[in-house]
Amino acid sequence: MPTISVVIPVRNGASNLRSCLDAIALCQKVVRECIVVDDNSSDGSRAVAEAAGAVVIQTQSTMGPAAARNLGAAHASGDLLVFIDSDVCVLTDTLQRIKARFEEDPTLDSLFGSYDAEPAAPGLVSQYKNLLQHYVHQHGHTEAETFWSGCGAIRSTVFREAGGFDERYTRPSIEDIDLGYRLKAAGHRIALDPQIQVKHLKRWGLRRLLYSDIFDRALPWTWLILRSRRLPDDLNLSVSQRITSVSVVATVALTISRFVAGTPLVLALPPLALAIFLNRRFFRFLAVKRGWLFLAGVMPLHLAYYVYSFIAFGAGMTFYRAAYRGTEEALPVSSKALVQPGRPDV
């Protein structure tokens, strides 16, 4: 019977942390210990964790979520390490389902779940982003190629053997995806179980969304693909998503060409129709969940997502070729060096 240690990194997330820990408290029979790593917060996060009865580890300086999770894991005694973000609430059956999966399948090394379809934060951008993340995980391959630390579990022995999260990711980024790549390269098995769900509390603004998607995900993920030479046909990198990205960019290019070179605008319609067709199930999902008016509001945002992701991927490739000239081991893990002062606190 595997025992569970929940590890939660937090930095200035006191308001959401309280809800996160309250939800875990309802699952006390399943949890051996709940460890909160306060990454040099200044908003009382530590006091919230202590009041909830969690084991609290305090860092002396800001380390980033990757290092904070590693620190929590080093103090954990459970057979399973369950990583939960501080802006996430487990459902009443989340941890029980995780434990049951590992009990039933001794070949399983790691497991992650999904956000639910009822994100807490209001607003068009927050609802869109959280529902998109839910949809992607709900339709991913159950035999996964990567890992997710928003709600992810891994056998403690496997985690330590892999060396934990790469601490060079000093911001919330793709440190979990990087770990998943290394686990797969070492021959470990990772499962995606869409029935294991959590509620996301995060509120997204447009500026924060763009910054996170480009600098914390697209660029470092491009460099991870180049270093590992692995481009799995799953989740955000599925073939249909790649084709959609090219189609949307072609639509934009042909539309611009209409005003620059007089290209017939009708030429932009086929690639746009293809992009909409490839995303028809996602659009239908949004219409059912939030209505056609909501869909009309977020469709331009979703199509723009493909444009800036395509550009970021191309920029990442160009940066690599110009600066590193084929030396993958020298490739940076994050885009911190490219970021200007005044970035949003994501």
pLDDT in tens, 185-229: 999 999 999 999 999 999 999 999 999 999 999 999 988 888 888
Domain range for 161 = 4-203
Task: Tell whether 8 is covered by a domain.
Answer: yes
End-to-end CA distance of the chain: 37
Residue 211 belongs to some domain of the structure: no
At residue 85, the 3 state secondary structure works out as coil
Among 161, 181, 203, where does a domain finish? 203
Q: How far is CA 177 from CA 196, 316, 343, in A?
A: 19, 17, 23
**Can you tell me the distance from the alpha carbon of 127 to that of 132, in angstroms, rounded to the nearest whole number?**
8
Predicted confidence at residue 326, as pLDDT, reads 54
Residue 317 is predicted with a pLDDT of: 84
Is residue 63 domain-shared with residue 178, that is, in the same domain? yes
Task: Give the tokens for residue 234.
Answer: 């799953």
DSSP codes, 65-76? HHHHHHHHHHT-
Q: pLDDT-based confidence at 343, cuts 50/70/90?
A: very low
The domain that contains 19 carries what CATH number? Answer: 3.90.550.10
For residue 266, give Cα distances in angstroms to 254, 255, 262, 269, 300. 9, 9, 11, 5, 19
Q: Which pTM was predicted?
A: 0.90
* Number of independent structural domains in the chain: 2
In this prediction, residue 345 carries a pLDDT of 42
On whether both 283 and 172 belong to a single domain, the answer is no
Confirm whether 346 is domain-assigned. no
Predicted confidence (pLDDT) per residue in 103-120, tens digit: 999 999 999 999 999 999
103, part of any domain: yes
H-run or E-run covering 46: helix 45-51
334 part of a folded domain: yes
Sheet holding 55-58, edge to edge: 55-58, 31-38, 4-10, 80-84, 151-155, 110-115, 190-200, 88-90
Residue 122: CA atoms inside 13 Å, Cβ hemisphere, count? 0
Q: What string of DSSP letters covers 190-221?
A: EEEEEEEEEEE-----HHHHHHIIIIIIIHHH
Residue 163 lies in a domain: yes
Confirm if 85 and 7 have CB atoms less than 8 A apart. no
Continuous segment of H or E residues that includes residue 10: strand 4-10
